[in-house]
């Protein structure tokens, strides 16, 4: 168990010590820190530090640019995203870089580099056999010879225009960029930082948490009131991080039948279905400040793929003082609930505003989306309704 917190001593407390930076973060005067930023539709569990619902740019503005590139992060920021997400994996020489997985086959041009052909291999990552190229087999210098590309070109053909334009970002460079952009804008750039496969990397001697904590400290982002969240699908990673830094932690929750990989390795029989019960949420609230559930845990889908009735998760998590940042909303039909699809082209946009609205009505505190501009308009609609 990590450094535990008492329920109630969470993000709202952060507002009390945030001062001018927090006021600037929401673009208001200091008195607004105590205000309800949800527009009167419920308690503001970000403590006035972010709008409610907050729009988290998932891997940047990944609906429009190849994910986890400076092109994607900058566009998200320019669109006005409230928070920008990074997923972190290590290089062979221990640097943290921004990739959704350590398998970089689909998101870089590594397959076009004959000098790296011999690095293609098959590995078991979190129990799954994967064949490709992996960040932990490349030094940072080698990784920087690669270029990022669109992960889902069949769905997002337009994004392939940018294939080859950007490198794989070094996380420290993202921190420098956030600092520079924060100064330029006169308000902090919020980040939502995920440790990927932490148990797997610990076993390889490439522990993520101390590396992340060291960087957060170096850039003054380790405090309770720092403009970032740390997140993980492995609760023990949050527990480890909370021993090293004080910024808010978010426990990610996948499908009900799934088990966090650290649970599997430790022989903990609990599934996500157990963790979303009141007892499970009570346990999470001992070390985390929020949860990041897959959207289906908030509103399950009917057998035909349309939205069903909301669960009690929002109410139950809020009762434990936890914020909810569900994932992931995307504009394309193929990703939308069936009742919000429009036309027959899976890659065309459906009624994303309708779907955002349905999720916002449940009382969530924020949402991860590949389309931050759509999410921001939907959030504005929600606040002014
Ligand atoms: O971290 C929130 C969301 O990004 C989790 O899903 O798989 O996209 O990292 P994933
Ligand atoms: Ca993520």
220's tokens: 């003054």
Establish whether residue 87 lines the binding site of ligand 1, counting it when its CB lies within 6 angstroms of any ligand atom.
Answer: yes
Instruction: Tell which atom from ligand 1 comes closest to the C-alpha of 196.
Output: 9
Measured from the alpha carbon of residue 126, the closest ligand is 1
Residue-wise burial string across 243-260, b where 16 or more C-beta atoms lie within 10 A, e elsewhere:
ebbbbbbbbbbbebebbb
Say which CATH architecture domain 9-99+170-384 belongs to: Alpha-Beta Barrel (3.20)
Best of 58, 59, 191 to mutate for ligand 1, by most ligand atoms within 8 A of CB? 58
Instruction: Tell which atom from ligand 1 comes closest to the C-alpha of 87.
Output: 9
Establish whether residue 369 lines the binding site of ligand 1, counting it when its CB lies within 6 angstroms of any ligand atom.
Answer: no
Judge whether 122 and 133 are in contact, CB under 8 Å: no
Per-residue pLDDT band at 43 (split at 50, 70, 90): low
Best of 368, 371, 375 to mutate for ligand 1, by most ligand atoms within 8 A of CB? 368
Residue nearest to atom 2 of ligand 1 (CA): 327
Quote the mean pLDDT of the chain. Answer: 91
Establish whether residue 327 lines the binding site of ligand 1, counting it when its CB lies within 6 angstroms of any ligand atom.
Answer: yes
Establish whether residue 209 lines the binding site of ligand 1, counting it when its CB lies within 6 angstroms of any ligand atom.
Answer: no
* Whole-angstrom distance, CA of residue 48 vs CA of residue 23: 8
Residue nearest to atom 3 of ligand 1 (CA): 327
**Cβ burial, residue 40 (10 Å; 0-12/13-18/19+):** exposed
Establish whether residue 62 lines the binding site of ligand 1, counting it when its CB lies within 6 angstroms of any ligand atom.
Answer: no
| Cα 58 to middle of ligand 1, angstroms | 7
Tell whether the model's pLDDT for residue 8 goes beyond 70: no
| Cα 88 to middle of ligand 2, angstroms | 9
Q: Where are the domains of the chain?
A: 9-99+170-384
| Cα 115 to middle of ligand 2, angstroms | 30
234's tokens: 């492995």
- pLDDT score, position 222: 97
* Whole-angstrom distance, CA of residue 322 vs CA of residue 293: 12
Residue nearest to atom 6 of ligand 1 (CA): 327
What percent of the chain stands above pLDDT 70?
89
| Cα 32 to middle of ligand 2, angstroms | 30
Judge whether 121 and 110 are in contact, CB under 8 Å: no
- pLDDT score, position 152: 98
Measured from the alpha carbon of residue 231, the closest ligand is 1
- pLDDT score, position 14: 39
| Cα 28 to middle of ligand 1, angstroms | 30
Question: How many angstroms separate the first and last alpha carbons of the chain?
Answer: 43
Per-residue pLDDT band at 48 (split at 50, 70, 90): confident
Q: What is the mean pLDDT of residues 102-115?
A: 98
Tell whether the model's pLDDT for residue 29 goes beyond 50: no
* Whole-angstrom distance, CA of residue 309 vs CA of residue 298: 9
Question: pLDDT tens digits, residue range 50-71?
Answer: 999 999 999 999 999 999 999 9
Q: What is the pTM of this model?
A: 0.91
Tell me, rounded to whole angstroms, the distance of Cα 360 from its chain centroid. 17
Per-residue pLDDT band at 22 (split at 50, 70, 90): very low
| Cα 104 to middle of ligand 2, angstroms | 15
Instruction: Tell which atom from ligand 1 comes closest to the C-alpha of 194.
Output: 1
Residue nearest to atom 1 of ligand 1 (CA): 194
- pLDDT score, position 146: 98
Instruction: Tell which atom from ligand 1 comes closest to the C-alpha of 56.
Output: 2
Establish whether residue 194 lines the binding site of ligand 1, counting it when its CB lies within 6 angstroms of any ligand atom.
Answer: yes
């Amino acid at each position: 168990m990590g450094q535990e917190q008492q329920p109630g001593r969470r993000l709202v407390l952060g507002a009390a010590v945030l001062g001018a930076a927090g006021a600037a973060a929401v673009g208001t005067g200091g008195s607004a820190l105590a205000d309800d930023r949800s527009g009167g539709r419920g308690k503001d569990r970000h403590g006035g530090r972010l709008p409610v619902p907050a729009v988290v740019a998932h891997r940047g503005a990944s609906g429009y640019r190849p994910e986890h590139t400076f092109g994607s992060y900058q566009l998200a920021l320019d669109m006005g995203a409230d928070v920008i997400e990074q997923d972190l994996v290590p290089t062979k020489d221990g640097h943290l870089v921004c990739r959704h997985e350590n398998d970089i086959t689909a998101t870089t041009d590594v397959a076009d580099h004959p000098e790296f052909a011999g690095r293609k291999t098959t590995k078991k990552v979190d129990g799954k056999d994967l064949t490709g190229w992996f960040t932990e087999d490349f030094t940072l210098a080698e990784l920087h010879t690669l270029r990022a590309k669109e992960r889902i070109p069949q769905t997002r053909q337009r994004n392939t225009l940018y294939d080859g334009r950007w490198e794989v970002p070094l996380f420290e460079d993202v921190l420098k960029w956030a600092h520079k952009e924060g100064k330029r804008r006169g308000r902090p750039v919020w980040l939502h930082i995920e440790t990927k496969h932490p148990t797997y990397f610990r076993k390889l001697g490439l522990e993520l948490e101390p590396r992340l904590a060291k960087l957060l400290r170096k850039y003054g982002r380790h405090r309770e009131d720092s403009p970032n969240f740390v997140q993980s699908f492995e609760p023990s990673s949050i527990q480890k991080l909370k021993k090293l830094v004080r910024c808010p932690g978010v426990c990610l929750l996948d499908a009900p039948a799934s088990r966090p990989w650290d649970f599997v390795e430790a022989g903990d029989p609990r599934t996500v279905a157990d963790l979303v019960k009141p007892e499970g949420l009570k346990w999470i609230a001992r070390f985390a400040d929020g949860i990041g559930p897959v959207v289906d845990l908030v509103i399950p889908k009917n057998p035909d793929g349309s939205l069903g009735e909301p669960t009690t998760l929002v109410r139950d998590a809020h009762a434990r003082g936890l914020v909810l940042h569900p994932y992931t909303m995307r504009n394309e039909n193929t990703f939308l609930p069936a009742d919000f699809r429009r036309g027959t082209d899976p890659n065309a946009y459906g009624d994303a505003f309708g779907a955002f609205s349905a999720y916002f009505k449940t009382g969530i505190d924020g949402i991860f989306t590949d389309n931050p501009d759509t999410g921001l308009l939907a959030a504005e609609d929600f606040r002014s309704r």
